[in-house]
Each structure stands twice: as C-alpha cells, then as structure tokens.
Amino acid sequence: MGRAIDVGDTSLWIDEQGPEEGLPVLVLHAGPGLDSSYFDGYLDPLATWFRLVLIDQRAHGRSDRSSDPRTWTYHQMARDVSAVAAELGIERYAVLGCGFGAEVALQHAVDGPHAAVATIVCGALASALWSPAVDAALNSMEPRELADRVVAAWRRRGEAGSDAEVAANWRELLPARFRDPHDPRIAEYQDRTAGIRFAAAVTRQLAGRAPGEDVVRRLPLVTQPVLVVAGRHDRFCPPAAAHAVADGVVRGHLVMLDNCASETFVEDTAGFTAAVRTFLASHTPER
C-alpha cells in the first residue's frame, strides 16, 4: 500500500515494494504529467532483491497538487529525492529514473554527488541540444500518416488544458515509444497503466524543457557509478544521447538493448531487469 510523506513544503506519494533489508532504489517515473503507475508491475522482478520506493514526483499523481508552481523545477524535484530518503531514514540508496524521471535523476546526481550510491537512467535526454534529433526520428516514422499524428502530438504536449487532454496526448505518443508502432503490447501496456493520474498543470510548465546544458557540462562531477540503459531504436532519446551521458560521467556504464525503443522495461523486461540487477550487484556491494 502507498502512503503520503512530508518533505517540508509539500507531501509526496510513495509506494514501497520488496524486502526491507534490500538496497533501497528510489524510482522516478516518466512525464512530465504521469505518475508511478507508468511502471505498473513491470519492475516487480527487481523487487525480489531490492527495496523499491516508487515516488509520484512533486505535483504529480497522488502527491499534493497544491504546491507552489515556482517549485516545479528539475532542481527541486531532485532535492525531493534526497528529502524522501531522509524522511524514510535511508542513508544508502540508488536512484532509478525513466524519461523525465531519468532527467531528474541526472539533476540529482550533478546537484548532489555522493548522495546516491548509484544512479540508473533510461531515456535521459540531458540537453535540449538533442531536440532536432528527436524531431527527425519522429518525422521518419512509417507510415507517413502515423508520423504526422505523432509529430503533432509531440508539438502540442505542453498545451493540454485538462488532465484528460494529457492522457489523450500520451496515448497518441505511445506508438512512437515502442520499436514497432504496431506492437500488440502497446494495448496491453495501456490497459495495465489505466490508473495513471495525469497532471495537466505540471505538464504545461515542464513539457519540452530538458534539464539544460548545465547538466551536460557538470556530468564529470558525478562520481558514483551510473548505468545508462538505452533502446537502440529510441526516438525520444537517440542512442548518441545515451552514449553522451555514459561517456560524460566518471564511472559510466552503457547497456544498449537492441530490440527496444523508449519503453525498455516493457519491450525487454528480462534484459532491463538483468542489466539493473547486475549493475547494482557489481557496484553497490554490501558494506
């Protein structure tokens, strides 16, 4: 069962899974505008070994929606990660993020080196400089009619006036998040994540804003081991962008999943799980 915890100026919703004695892994969902239901049960295999703490990020999902919009920033959401750990009495933990959550995880890593013992990112677009590559990848989809729909949805993702409009936009973009836009698992994923509570206000504020060039410049400051899990066919985080993150940190490791696009934990659950488990077992030995 999930619960709300106080992080000072707001409350965040968390859901804990796995053995209490396992290494805590603080998990950050994609977005902006989604919540931890984005993962549904796809991370359950990791809960065999690790204590997963899934966080609905600030102003998202079941977390308090009334926080000051001026705090809806990458820097503050990165501080929230440390605040959750402190509130739970956790001193030693890893951070795992996908998409928007991966970008917050990178912000956490550069703002607070050593705060986490390891960081895992999947689909971390660490700079807006990669935006032209994303546009090109979406425009190259086939058939042309599908590409036009996806590109239109991508361009208006920050214009949603209601949570329902964010949900509709998310559904329109899903085909581009899988290697095969007609993958039957897309429908299954939609069914399994039907409980996502979308958040239009934070989507409007943050959609289209990568952490910025400062994160790219500061990657060499990150001293903890960083695993970059990438899909070779990812249209929203081109493989070159994943390589740039893995190469930019001192102790970067890249795992490229050949048959995946953005949703690696869905398209290759076994490969994703093995990559994360092997990395954490190798780089966060028990003290």
Q: Inform me whether the pLDDT recorded for 211 exceeds 90.
A: no
Query: Could you tell me the CA-to-CA distances from 100 to 47, 126, 147 in Å, in that order?
Result: 22, 10, 22
Domain encompassing residue 34 = 2-283
Phi/psi class of residue 88: alpha, beta or left (left: φ > 0; alpha: ψ in -120 to 50)?
alpha
Of residues 239, 276, 272, 2, the one with CA closest to residue 137 = 239
What radius of gyration, in Å, describes the C-alpha atoms of the chain? 17
| Coil vs helix vs strand at 19 | coil
Q: Inform me whether the pLDDT recorded for 286 exceeds 90.
A: no
Domains in the chain: how many in total?
Answer: 1
**CATH number of the domain bearing residue 222:** 3.40.50.1820
Would the pTM of this model clear 0.95, i.e. be above it? yes
Of residues 172, 178, 171, 175, the one with CA closest to residue 194 = 171
Q: Inform me whether the pLDDT recorded for 212 exceeds 90.
A: no
Q: Rounded to an integer, what distance in angstroms lies between the CA atom of residue 175 and that of residue 101?
A: 20
Q: Inform me whether the pLDDT recorded for 287 exceeds 60.
A: no
Q: Average per-residue pLDDT in the chain?
A: 95
